[in-house]
Structure 1
Amino acid sequence: MDLSSAAKQAHHSDALDHAVRAGLVAYGLVHLVIGWLALQIAFGERKTSASSTGAMHALADQPVGAVLVWLVALGLLLLVVWRLLQAWQGHRQEDGADKKRKQAASLLKAAVYGALGFSALKVALGDSKSGSGTDGLTAQLMGMPGGQLIVGLVGLGVLGYGGHHAYQGISDKFLEKIDGEGRSGDTGTALRVIGKVGYIAKGLAIAVIGGLFGWAALTHDPKKSGGLDQALQRLADAPFGQLLLVVVAVGIACYGVYAFARARHLSRS
């Protein structure tokens, strides 16, 4: 059996279904913790880091926390494998530009899961730093030829990614990711509300990150960029910021609950 045939077989296997479910549980747990940390920021705990790394540190501080972080890292790695297989062997029903777009989306999601998994792995190996280091990365990009334009394009890309999340929530497109049982009856009604709130809130948080990158590009100041933690801090400082941040925090937690439900009612078709 050649490599392509083996990958195709793996992509359609029950084992991958189990792996994806495990990964989605890990992904959901991360979002629940980030939602909790964001609530703490809303109520005045500004030293809290409501980022993926902050979430990993919060998990590590719990009983059997080291085991939890290792399991989260493994689960996120399984999601990376899934998305890479999907980019390679999936989207067979599509062709042309639509297929390339969906393959690119699968690769982007693999990169997102990989970044989260890397954060979990660093914490599991004893990294004590909780900062995102985004301004350092932005400074490196700024120092490249055309760096200001690159940072601006990154901001636009992140803004678009956030907008896509919000669109998924507004349009109920996220329901396509769960099976028929999960879309019907009282379960379907509950998941529609939870998923809608989760996708829109997460989209808003991501869009703020994109805005921070865009502002950094316009002002040529890397320190004005930021990751999720900085975005939530900025929301807290906005007019009606506490209320807005509470809504976003609850929404991010809802996204985590939706990930659990998606693991239960998985549809990879």
Structure 2
Amino acid sequence: MNAAADTAESVHRSPWLDHAIRAGLIAYGVVHLLIAWLAVQLAFGEKEDSASNSGALHYLAQQPMGKVLVWLIAVGMLLLVIWRLLEFAFGFPEESDDTKRWRKRATSLGKAVIYGALGWSAVKTATGDASKGGTDGTTAKIMDLPGGQFIVGAIGLAIIAYGISLIVRGWTEKFREHLDAQGQSGQDGSAYILLGKAGYIAKGVAISVIGGLFGYAAITHEAKKSGGLDQALQTVLEQPFGPVLLTAIGLGIGAYGLFCFARAKHLSR
């Protein structure tokens, strides 16, 4: 058992893991750029695929060599899952506060779940077993459970909290910790920080709207009121100046994708 733990910890500290993380971040950035493109298309009334993770993967799969690229994204997400799980198990030894250390480890575990879900969606898309449907079916099943309405409401609040945390991270530029010193300096560094700020805030707004939809579904006891990113962006579109707001969010999500590329180049972990 100790030998296995030592091996896992050595992998966590290995420079090869840095290369794996960079590959995963590039894949993650590509997905966000595709979502941004679909969101802008939605704003201009030209959307065919849903502006979501699954919609972006479906769109990519339809392009030349698309399925190969989707498989590469699946591999990239697997690499990010491995990183976050190793971080959960062995990360943050420099943090002296036990509460903060375990909070960071819990965050890493949550991110591993997010990357894993995206990776699984990529596998299903590459194998032709993907669905572009919404989340209302799953929400309906949860709603039918004892206390299901409260569970859906709690999920909505958790999603909103995560979205707000991204907005705060973007506004305070706390994401700078993801870039090495070179990535934060000079004109390039200023551009990276601007991309990160716009990207985190836009992504946080979109995720907060998703949480709001879950909360509304819980209050009204209508599962179809819940939804994923596509429905959240559609909700934004239906507001006053919706196309302008949606275009801004789409460009922000695209900025987050570009920031993933910058983070891959100037990785700090």
TM tier, smaller: over 0.9
Q: One-letter code of the match for 2:232?
A: A
Q: Residue type of the partner of 1:106? A: S
| Cα offset, 1:92, TM superposition | 1.1
Instruction: Tell me the equivalent position of 1:103.
Output: 105
**Residue in 2 aligned with 1:12?**
13
Which residue of 2 is the match for residue 208 of structure 1?
Answer: 209
Instruction: Output the aligned Cα RMSD.
Output: 1.0
Q: Equivalent residue for 1:45?
A: 46
Per the alignment, residue 115 of structure 1 pairs with 117
- The CA deviation string for residues 3-27 of structure 1, in whole angstroms up to 9 with x for no partner, is 1111110100011000000000000
Distance 1:3 1:143 in 2: 43
- Gaps spanning 5+ residues in structure 1: where? none
Equivalent residue for 1:242?
243
Whether the 8 Å contact between 1:40 and 1:48 is mirrored in structure 2 is: no
Cα deviation per residue 1:149-179 (whole Å; 9 max; x = unaligned)? Answer: 1101100000011001111110000111010
- Which residue of 2 is the match for residue 65 of structure 1? 66
SS of equivalent to 1:2: helix
Contact 2:49 2:58 in 1 (8 A): no
Correspondence list, 1:1-269, <5 A = 2-94=3-95, 95-132=97-134, 134-268=135-269
Q: Give the TM-score normalised by structure 2.
A: 0.97
Contact 1:166/1:204 (<8 A) preserved: yes
Deviation string for 1:159-201 (max 9, x for gaps)?
Answer: 0110011111100001110100000000111011111000000
Do 2:12 and 2:90's aligned partners in 1 also have CA atoms closer than 8 Å?
Answer: yes
CA offsets, 1:216-239, max 9 Å, x none? 011111000000000001101111
Q: Is the 8 A contact 2:49 2:59 kept in 1?
A: no
Query: Aligned in 2, Cα 1:46/1:237: closer, same or farther, shift over 3 Å?
Result: farther
Name the CA distance, whole Å, in 1 between partners of 2:231 and 2:205: 13
Percent identical residues: 56
The 2-side partners of 1:254 and 1:66 are apart by 25
Tell me the CA shift for residue 48 of structure 1: 3.0
- Given that residues 198 and 252 in structure 1 are in contact (C-alpha distance below 8 angstroms), is that contact kept between their aligned partners in structure 2? yes
> Aligned partners of 1:99 and 1:128: how far apart in 2?
37
- 1:22-66, Cα deviation, whole Å (9 max, x unpaired): 000000000000000000100013543001011001111111111
**Partner amino acid, structure 2, of 1:190:** A
Deviation, 1:122, is 0.3
Q: AA paired with 2:92?
A: H
The alpha-carbon deviation at position 129 of structure 1 amounts to 2.5
Aligned counterparts of 2:246 and 2:122: Cα–Cα separation in 1: 25
CA distance in 2: counterparts of 1:220 and 1:131, whole angstroms: 20
Give the Å deviation of 1:83: 0.2
Quick check: 1:162–1:206 contact (8 Å CA) kept in 2?
yes
TM-score (norm: length of structure 1): 0.97
After TM superposition, which residue ranges in structure 1, 4 or more long, deviate above 4 angstroms? none
CA shift, 1:257, in A, is 0.2
Give the conservation status (yes or no) of the 8 Å contact 1:41–1:48.
no
- The count of residues paired between Structure 1 and Structure 2 equals 267
CA distance in 2, matches of 1:224, 1:213: 7
Query: Aligned-pair distance for 1:127?
Result: 2.1
When structure 1 is superposed on structure 2, of 88-97 and 235-244 the one drifting more is 88-97
Deviations 1:213-269 (A, max 9, x none): 00001111100000000000110111110000000000000000000010000001x
CA contact (8 A) 1:79 1:110 kept: yes
Q: Which moved more, 1:25-34 or 1:56-65?
A: 56-65
Rounded Cα–Cα distance in structure 2 between residues aligned with 1:229 and 1:249: 11
Measure the CA separation in 2 of the matches of 1:155 and 1:187: 37
State the distance in 1 between where 2:267 and 2:111 align. Answer: 17
